[in-house]
Amino acid sequence: MVKYKAPLREYEFVLREVLQIERELGSYPEYSEATWDMIEMISEQFGKINEDYWLPSAKEGDEVGVTFNDGEVVVPETMKKATRIVIDAGLTQLFGHQEYGGMEFPNVVSVLSDEMSCATNMSLGIYLGLTKGAYHCIHKHGSEEIRKRYLPKFLSGEWFGTMCLTEAHCGTDLGLIRTSAKPNGENYLVSGQKIFISCGEHDMAENIVHLVLARLPDAPKGVKGISLFLVPKYKVNSEGELGNHNNVTCVSIEEKMGVHGSATCVMSFEGSEGYLIGELNEGLAAMFSMMNTERIAVGLQGLGQAEIAYQNALAYSKDRIQGRDLKGTRNPEDEADPLIVHPDIRRMLMRAKALIDSGRMLACWTALAIDRSEKDKDPKVRKENEDLVELMTPIIKALLTDYGVEITSEMLQIFGGHGYIKEYGMEQFYRDVRIAPIWEGTNGIQALDLAGRKMPQHMGRLLRRFFHPALEFIEANKEDENMKEFLDPFAKSLKGLQKTTLYMAQKGLSNPYEIGAAATDYLRQFGLVAMGYMWLLMLEVAFEKRDSNEYYSHKIITARFFFERILPETLSRAIAIGSGSGTMMSLPDEGFDSVHKFTGAAN
């Protein structure tokens, strides 16, 4: 019943027309082969694979799921076939460096592939997404010997990667980890147990390479004593050949609400040989290279699931007849009119479309900054774009996953009772996407990262990477009559965000609770303003081309809905922030209890 078409026209609009990546990235020699013709060809190929193989495999992945027996995890056959088709087509090599066998395509193009993968089979996308993250971490922090030995195998699809952080007694507070690493000549012996390890064990690769946080015996306490180690399932010799099992064992897998095709493992390391990645006691900084990559990828899980839910709800709303148009019969030959004639159905659909379009644009805009931060010859340009990526990463992760859940829920609502039963596939989207706001740091943690770390960092330098171009855009377009109806509310929302930022900075100096209490509202307020800016960038192109094709007129209407119906939420968020932390911190712990011992009422 579930259908999906890769939104290639949307990506052509964002990448080629708005961001103009051919011009922006054409000067980088590494991207010389990434012409639009090549990008278009690969996108169509990847879209076809997702539609024909990944989407059908999602059903078996959900209903059968991975199975566990005596330390081994078996992935459903249709998922293995879908993965093999991507590997055989050479698509796992797209974003790797040429010296290790990759095609070195821009990061901005990976947004497209990640969204499509997460839309059609979120479980399957996790396996390849984690491998990509491990690749980038090792490339940035591993020794040349390690890079040469492991990275080509990632790109060929022969080996997969994972990240191993969480332990049973600690989640986000990684300073409490107990996994140990003892020096053993040129390597280390890693011992301990990790939980919630996505894709920690499976039968889709010859070897699984784990990036494990551990602590040396004499390491400082807390996060300053954490190191990062590469620990393969099977030992690898200097020639890159597999050796003996490395005492890395899957103890069990979790029974989960969704993403049943992705194994969530308890992993045991018992004197397993590991290799240092980065510097001793600086493992958390090295791991953040992977975590930040994964946080953007998780944001795209929210976007992908929202897109496929939207596509199916839209099709259902056009096909399902229910009630009559409030202004009169639309289709007199039928017993009723289609759902899409009803204002509330259109409200949900337009809200979804407005958020998906601007969320996609925000992800691509940030990914373009990643490309500039890595490839530009000017150190100043690289640093400015690196700052922007640091600022936007928690926003993309939290905003797109929160909206992914909200949109998927509303699209299920359009189906009515049919949305709640398995036959139509909508309930799987909701179950799968619900994990996205939780992992890679819950969205509350992302909000604290933005408000508590990124906002004050370097005296607000990161904030300027967003505020300055937004203010410059307002100034450059203030005389444009077409843009006026959008620029005015945007300028007010931007000014409101600046005021909120100043308020939080001042209040937070005297009371850190103020930052914690405001963080989630602040991230949403910031995210909505950022989406508003993305709409302005898209509107610039849409107005210029609106007479050539109705596509651009539709974009203007969708933008108008965003500015009229969604952006005003920034006001309520600002009001909530201004209420401070007093009330929420004043209720004693026992006041949260809803069940109290009856003591009798006074007469």
pLDDT for the residue numbered 182: 97
Contact 215, 180 (CB under 8 A): yes
Q: Does residue 524 carry a pLDDT above 80?
A: yes
Burial 452-463 (b: 16+ CB within 10 A, else e): bebbbeeeeebb
Q: What is the pLDDT of residue 170?
A: 81
User: In this model, does residue 392 exceed pLDDT 90?
Assistant: yes
In tens, the pLDDT along 428-457 reads 999 999 999 998 889 999 999 999 999 998
Tokens 């911190």 found at: 585
Residues 6+ apart with CB under 8 A from 281: 216, 219, 220, 224, 225, 226, 227
Flag the least confident range among 22-31, 283-292, 524-533. Answer: 283-292
SS3 content of the chain, % helix, strand, coil (to 5): 60, 10, 25
Q: What is the mean pLDDT of residues 545-564?
A: 97
| Distance from the first to the final alpha carbon of the chain | 62
Angle value at C-alpha 370, between 529 and 406, nearest 5 degrees: 40
What is d(CA 18, CA 544) in angstroms, rounded to the nearest whole number? 11
Average pLDDT of 248-262?
97
Instruction: Tell me the per-residue pLDDT of 62-80, one tens digit each, with 9 for 90 and over.
Output: 999 999 999 999 999 999 9
Q: Would you state the pLDDT for residue 601?
A: 59
> What is residue 147's predicted lDDT score, i.e. its pLDDT?
96
Residue type, 587: L
* pLDDT the model gives residue 1: 81
Q: Calculate the average pLDDT of the chain.
A: 95
What average pLDDT does this structure show over 215-227? 91
| The pLDDT value given to residue 602 | 56
Task: Give the 3-state secondary structure of residue 78.
Answer: helix
Please give the Cα distance from 6 to 8 (Å, whole number). 6
Q: Is 559 left (phi over 0), alpha (psi -120 to 50) or beta?
A: alpha
Share of the chain above pLDDT 70, in %: 99
In this prediction, residue 26 carries a pLDDT of 87
In the predicted structure, residue 220 carries a pLDDT above the cut 60: yes
**pLDDT at residue 603, rounded to an integer:** 53
Q: What is the DSSP letter of 166?
A: -
Confidence of residue 404 (pLDDT cuts 50, 70, 90): very high
The pLDDT, as a whole number, for residue 440 is 86
Query: What is the percent of the chain where pLDDT is above 90?
Result: 89
Q: Categorize the per-residue pLDDT at 473 as very low, low, confident or very high, splitting at 50, 70 and 90.
A: very high
Contacts of 576 by beta carbon, 8 Å cutoff, 6+ apart: 518, 521
Torsion region of 478: left, alpha or beta (phi above 0 gives left; psi -120 to 50 gives alpha):
alpha
Residues taking part in catalysis: 440
pLDDT bin (cut points 50, 70, 90) of residue 581 is: very high
Give mean pLDDT, residues 70-99. 95
Burial class (CB in 10 A: 0-12, 13-18, 19+), 144: exposed
Residue 600's pLDDT is what? Answer: 64
Give the model's pLDDT for residue 293.
79
pLDDT of residue 284: 86
Joined together, the tokens standing for residue 368 give 């373009």
pLDDT > 60? residue 394: yes
Residue 169 has a pLDDT of 84
Residue 409 has pLDDT above 80, yes or no: yes
- 3-state SS assignment for residue 139: helix
Q: How far apart are CA 240 and CA 224, in angstroms?
A: 32
Helix (H, G, I), strand (E, B) or coil at 243: strand
Per-residue confidence (pLDDT) for residue 174, from 0 to 100: 76
Give the tokens for residue 1.
């019943």
Q: Is the pLDDT at 91 greater than 70, yes or no?
A: yes
State yes or no: pLDDT of 291 exceeds 80: no
pLDDT, average across residues 299-307: 98
- 133-173 pLDDT tens trace: 999 999 999 999 999 999 999 999 999 999 999 999 886 77
Count CB-CB contacts under 10 A for residue 217. 8
